[in-house]
C-alpha cells in the first residue's frame, strides 16, 4: 500500500495495492502488520456502515471520552471526507483536511484520535464503511457545526446539505468541548 501525507501530519491517505483481472479485484483493506509499518498502530473494536443520498452531510462528529480513531473507506459512490484537528495543544489546531474518497479509487483515510470527522455525499448515494478504535458512546458524542465560519471548510456542495437534527445543531469550535 501507499501512504500519502496530508497537511495534517497524523491524517493519512491510504492507497491500497489493488489486484484486478477479468473476474474483478482484490485488495487488503486492513492488514495490521502493514498498517503498523506505516505508523498506524490501531486496535479496531467496531465496524460501522452508512448509506446516504446525494447532498447528505454527516458531521463533524467526535467523542470526548472513549475517543475514536477511524479508518474510513467508501464501497459505493463518492464522498468528500473531512478531518478537523481539535487538539488545543496541537500546532494544527482548527485546521482541516478534506479529500475525495470513492469506490473506484478504493483509497482510505486514517483519522486518529483528537480529530472531528464528517463527510458529504457527492454521488447519487454512497456507502461508507469505517473501523473505529473505541466503541460508540452517545453520551460522549459531540458535534461541531459543519459550516463553522472560523473553520471555513470548502465543502463541494451545491445548495444546503441534508442534515440530521444533531448535525443541524452542531456548535462552533470556539464553544466546543475539545481535547487538551
61 is catalytic: yes
* CA atoms of 123 and 7, how far apart (whole Å): 25
β-strand 78-85 against 96-102: which pairing, if any?
Answer: antiparallel
CA 64 centroid distance within chain:
16
Q: Is 106 in contact with 73 (CB distance < 8 Å)?
A: yes
49 is catalytic: no
The region that residue 77 occupies, defined by phi over 0 for left and psi between -120 and 50 for alpha, beta otherwise, is left
Catalytic one of 49, 62, 130, 136: 130
User: Grid coordinates representing 86?
Assistant: 481539535
Catalytic one of 61, 136, 140, 172: 61
Residue ranges with strand state E in 54-153 = 57-63, 70-76, 78-85, 96-102, 108-111, 115-121, 125-132, 141-143
**Which residues are identified as catalytic?**
61, 130
Amino acid at each position: 500500500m501507499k501512504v500519502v501525507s496530508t497537511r495534517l501530519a497524523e491524517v493519512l491517505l491510504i492507497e491500497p495495492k489493488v489486484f484486478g483481472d477479468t473476474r474483478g479485484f482484490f485488495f487488503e483493506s486492513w492488514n495490521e502488520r502493514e498498517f503498523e509499518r506505516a505508523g498506524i498502530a490501531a486496535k479496531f473494536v467496531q465496524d460501522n456502515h452508512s448509506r446516504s443520498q446525494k447532498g447528505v452531510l454527516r458531521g463533524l462528529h467526535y467523542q470526548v471520552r472513549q475517543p475514536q480513531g477511524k479508518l474510513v473507506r467508501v464501497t459505493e459512490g463518492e464522498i468528500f471526507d473531512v478531518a478537523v484537528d481539535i487538539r488545543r495543544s496541537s500546532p494544527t489546531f482548527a485546521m482541516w483536511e478534506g479529500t475525495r474518497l470513492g469506490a473506484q479509487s478504493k483509497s482510505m483515510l486514517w483519522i486518529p484520535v483528537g480529530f472531528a470527522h464528517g463527510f458529504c455525499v457527492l454521488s447519487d448515494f454512497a456507502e461508507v464503511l469505517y473501523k473505529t478504535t473505541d466503541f460508540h458512546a452517545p453520551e460522549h458524542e459531540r458535534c461541531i457545526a459543519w459550516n463553522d465560519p472560523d473553520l471555513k471548510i470548502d465543502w463541494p456542495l451545491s445548495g444546503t446539505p441534508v442534515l440530521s437534527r444533531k448535525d443541524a445543531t452542531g456548535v462552533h469550535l470556539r464553544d466546543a468541548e475539545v481535547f487538551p
